[in-house]
Structure 1
């Protein structure tokens, strides 16, 4: 098991101690359960008036399902020499280049990394974050222009449970691991969050705007359902 995230509790689920994080949400209308691939745990989202006890009751009512899904999660993919990490959906070999300079960069199907082995993981992650910031920011700006909207800013985050978000103030945020997914997946996620600049809900108008910005909704959501948990285990 990975280290429990800050604030998580270890709770017995189907006989195994499992990290469980409770999150309060003013926007949530009902209690929900979500797997956290990074910690191999569970996130319970509570509406403002829901109690922790009610959240636990939902967890225990579905603990067989939760245990089954947690057991099926892929193993972590460490950023280490010799590992293959996807970039735009294509596997790239992490290749040390100790005699070179420049940190880390992508070249001919490889992620080249300079310096000592102790700094390799951080340098690879920094390389992917830079790429995500460059490409996702540009994609968001173009889609916002097409929609006649303007984000306040675009941020790249190290999230493990969601690919993107849109704050009420117009700030868009994306998980850096999104750059590991194929281009059509990135296109859909960015379009989805840009559409929230116009509609902070999932109304028919929101979906109509999303689908006017990308043709990849069905294909991308299917891909994320099947492959997203694996990407969230990178790093």
Structure 2
């Protein structure tokens, strides 16, 4: 990809990307790092794509201004864990300790983010596995495995082989949101689609889910602002 500049206050860096699959010029702003990608079909001239970007400049600036800034995790940072804000503080001993109001992380300050990420991933696995075991038992189906990733585009998935995948950052969401996502993916063990029958299965397993889906749409992206040194 090539870089181009949309001059202004401040300048906007455009990542110019040509695609044989593209049928029209498109703009995308990453919710994670604010990168602006301008994609154009191979037959479209660059000047035409840049003219399109200038036309969309107010829209680009509006979305960049609304983007939540990244937070580098370290001592003093307030981090939501299972839906509750906890302050990251210096700890003693060898293990990270989760309290009602604080996360106590031992070790050197420059290793806090990495240690805390490892702790959160382990906790996410435990909590998600317990929820999935519960829902799978109710469904009368079993899953073949469970993995965690730091996915940007989805909170979970279920493969045709019955393997479940989740974003470990769900541990930063309220518990009911995590459990809804677990129920959603487990329901795919019975319905590998998003048909009315699938949503009926989700409702049977979890109950009403509109509030949890809405939370993910409106608040979910903010969970990606926390940077752990990875």
User: What is the TM-score with the length of structure 1 in the denominator?
Assistant: 0.76
1:160 is displaced (CA, Å) by: 2.6
Unaligned runs of 5+ residues in structure 2 are 20-25
Q: Is 1:229 paired with 2:225?
A: no
SS at match of 1:85: strand
Residue 185 to residue 125, structure 1, CA distance change in 2 (3 Å): same
Per-residue deviation at 1:91? 0.3
Runs of at least 5 residues in structure 1 that lack an aligned partner in the other structure: 1-7, 24-31, 45-50
**Structure 1 pair 220–120 and aligned structure 2 pair: CA distance change class (3 A):** same
Hey, what's the Cα distance between the residues in 1 that align with 2:6 and 2:193? 33
Name the structure 2 match of 1:109.
Answer: 101
Distance 2:212 2:136 in 1: 19
Change in 2 beyond 3 A, CA 1:148/1:234:
same
Picking from 48, 61, 84, the partner of 2:78 is 84
Secondary structure, counterpart of 1:232 in structure 2: helix
Structure-to-structure mapping, 1:47-126, within 5 angstroms: 65=59, 67-97=61-91, 100-126=92-118
Name the counterpart of 2:35. 41
Distance 1:90 1:69, change over 3 A: same
2:128 to 109, 127, 136: 136
Equivalent in the alignment of 1:174: 166
Q: Would the aligned equivalents of 2:97 and 2:104 in 1 still touch at CA under 8 Å?
A: yes
Q: CA RMSD in A?
A: 3.4
Q: What secondary structure is seen at the aligned counterpart in 1 of 2:73?
A: coil
Aligned length: 215
2:17 aligned with 1:17, yes or no?
no
User: What is the CA distance between 1:207 and its match in structure 2?
Assistant: 1.0
